[in-house]
Structure 1
Amino acid sequence: MKHVPEPGDSITMDKGAWVLGERIGSGGFGLVFQARRGDGATGAVKLIEKAPGADRELLLGRTLAESPHVVPVLDAGETEDHWALAMPLADTSLDVRLARQGGAPLPLTDTLAVLRDIAAALVALDGQVVHRDLKPANILLLNGSWRLADFGISRYAEASTDPNTRKHSLTPPYAAPEQWRGDRATGATDVYAAGVVAYELLTGSRPFKGPQSHDYRRQHLSDPLPPLPRDVPAELAALVKESLFKPAGARPTARDLRARLDRFDRARSSKRP
């Protein structure tokens, strides 16, 4: 019988033993706890139940450990039933930030800060890793910047899709058309999800609202994008719209996304008194 992790359990990792504290959530295919290592270091420990392909987050976390746009892995290890990752405790997540808005859009300055950090993260991943599950719950504020987390269903960009890549795992409100068709995900898939996040930041709601899986499938595959409010600057509205184009090849690349956001932000700053 598999052991269910609980506060007080000790998890041995490469750099020492971590004692689990309060459970603070779940992410992808794992459970997340506050934790403290024997040397006094604190962080969040994610435990991922062992299953075919479940070690991918541990491997990818180590690959991306030096990226300033990704929540870093501080320590790693395993138990009989779980892979274990220790990460810094984030200040907040984007879904919590949105919840505080109560359905209202974020101020434009805050929205641009989030989108520029997301775009920088996608540029850093481009050609290396496809995240495949970009959403507000996986975007964390750490040391003043927004970073990507939870690479549980990611894969290396050039890896072929095999039975253990969790290809068909997706989050319906943010899943690109190619994911609904079961096609191979690329960097354009992450740009589409970033477009959904951008729409949500600018309006306070997602462009497609389901509520059932078959509704989301139809909406992402064929429904037109609901127009953005008129007070959204035209250049920014165009970029969001292009990021949400149905054909993957018609969307901006991650580098285009970042460059256009930078240009828009500079132009906006130059107009301030």
Structure 2
Amino acid sequence: MRPLQPGDPTHLGDHRVLARLGSGGMGEVFLGRSPGGRMVAVKVVHEALAAQPGFRARFRREVTAARSVGGAYTAPLVDADPDAEVPWLATAYLPGMSLRDAIDAHGPLPPPAVRALGAALAEALVAIHGAGVVHRDLKPGNVMLTPDGPRVIDFGIAQAAEATAITESGAFLGSPGYLAPEQAAGGRAGPAADVFALGAVLAFAATGSGPFGQGPVHVLIHRALHDPPDLAAVPDPGLRHLIATCLDKDPARRPVPAALVPHLAAPPQGVAWLPETVSQLV
């Protein structure tokens, strides 16, 4: 969290803007407070993206769909304005830390915790896909570990952005190392692309590294398209097999999220499922 900078908005709709939370490929994120005192995370779309033909209509459809996403493991959409000078949306603000930060600071999770995390993320995808939304950028930085359990954040504008002709040559949306092959190749990413990303996130949680290692963007893209994932460090053979099925190159052979839950663990609540060093921070 950082102070506001000169030129930052002080209000977005009825929400008072309090601080900066971060930025990404699609926009900047601010901490806000609703008129009723609720803390919200407000994502403001980059002006260049918002100016592309057709973006606002797609964004409006995405917002309508995202409003209907329920479930215990997502951050609910609470407000949006697709018609603002610069479009924005607000979700419930979730205190805690990202999975990325937790693993970077304290190392991989033990297999039971990875299984619990996987069950929560699979249930989140069931809710997201059931509302007609595809996340398209599920990654460790978009999984929050909160006092009430894990939550998937940052869905609701990826599909509108992906369908928009934003390209400079070679531009794409998503995070290399977690992109499904069909998405990395520039094709349309459906729900199965989120399952691929789920497998990559669980590999990261179990080992501290993504299944395609590290390297420049073009190297990670090539590995996702052509190389098998490196899962040798996943300590639980059953978990290793489940992750491998999610990372199948063929989207038709990946399991649907609902089919994964029975093979994982009871979806977690609170922080007791986490190692003590992480749960104390959360």
TM-score normalised by the chain length of structure 2: 0.77
Aligned match of 1:63 in 65, 81, 87? 65
Offset of residue 41 of structure 1: 2.8
Please say if 1:35 is aligned against 2:35.
no
- The match for 2:186 is 182
What is the SS of the residue equivalent to 2:17? strand
Identity, % of aligned positions:
31
Aligned match of 1:44 in 29, 41, 45? 41
Greater shift, 80-89 or 50-59, is seen at: 50-59
Please say if 1:117 is aligned against 2:114.
no
In structure 2, relative to structure 1, the CA distance for the partners of 1:40 and 1:227 (3 Å cut) is closer
Please say if 1:225 is aligned against 2:222.
no
For 2:9 and 2:136, locate their aligned partners in 1 and report how far apart those are by CA, in whole Å: 33
In structure 2, relative to structure 1, the CA distance for the partners of 1:126 and 1:42 (3 Å cut) is closer
In structure 2, relative to structure 1, the CA distance for the partners of 1:174 and 1:9 (3 Å cut) is same
Please say if 1:75 is aligned against 2:53.
no
For 2:20 and 2:139, locate their aligned partners in 1 and report how far apart those are by CA, in whole Å: 21
For 1:135 and 1:145, locate their aligned partners in 2 and report how far apart those are by CA, in whole Å: 17
Larger Rg: 1
For 1:93 and 1:6, locate their aligned partners in 2 and report how far apart those are by CA, in whole Å: 28
TM-score normalised by the chain length of structure 1: 0.79
Alignment check: 8 A CA contact 2:56 2:83 kept: no
Please say if 1:237 is aligned against 2:234.
no
What is the SS of the residue equivalent to 1:154? helix
For 1:61 and 1:113, locate their aligned partners in 2 and report how far apart those are by CA, in whole Å: 29
Number of residue pairs matched by the alignment: 250
Please say if 1:132 is aligned against 2:136.
yes
Instruction: In structure 2, list runs of 5 or more residues that go unmatched.
Output: 269-282
For 1:241 and 1:212, locate their aligned partners in 2 and report how far apart those are by CA, in whole Å: 23
Offset of residue 179 of structure 1: 1.1
Instruction: In structure 1, list runs of 5 or more residues that go unmatched.
Output: 156-160, 266-273
Aligned match of 1:107 in 104, 107, 110? 110
In structure 2, relative to structure 1, the CA distance for the partners of 1:207 and 1:130 (3 Å cut) is same
What is the SS of the residue equivalent to 1:44? strand
Please say if 1:11 is aligned against 2:16.
no
Structure with more relative contact order (C-alpha pairs < 8 Å, separation 6 or more) = 2
Greater shift, 52-61 or 28-37, is seen at: 52-61
